[in-house]
Amino acid sequence: MSKIYVETAKCIDCGACTAVCNSNALRLDTVSWSLIFDKQKCTGCKLCISACPMRALKASSNISSAAS
């Protein structure tokens, strides 16, 4: 199960999350400039969540309580 959830509608592809991700689980595709999330590489450190200016990233365990 994925440890974080990307709300793609909020993402502006700024790359802030990719810069803080130490495991390369997040990267910007250089062709489409869209955010790619590889859940297999994610360690669940959650650094990306606080780095995102759009709050497009959420911890999976918080999805139900964060729904609005």
Interface residue list for ligand SF4 (CB under 6 A): 3-4, 6, 11-17, 20-21, 23, 25-26, 35, 42-48, 51-52, 54, 56-57
What distance in Å separates the CA atoms of residue 65 and residue 26, rounded to the nearest whole number? 24
At its nearest, how many Å lie between ligand SF4 and the CB of residue 68? 18
* Strand ranges inside 1-68, DSSP E: 4-6, 26-28, 35-37, 57-59
Q: Of 51, 50, 47, 46, nearest to 61 (Cα)?
A: 46
Q: Write down the least CB distance from residue 65 to ligand SF4, Å.
A: 18
Please say which residue, 6 or 68, places its beta carbon nearer to ligand SF4.
Answer: 6
Q: How far is the CB of 36 from ligand SF4 (least distance, A)?
A: 10
Beta bridge partners of 37: 26
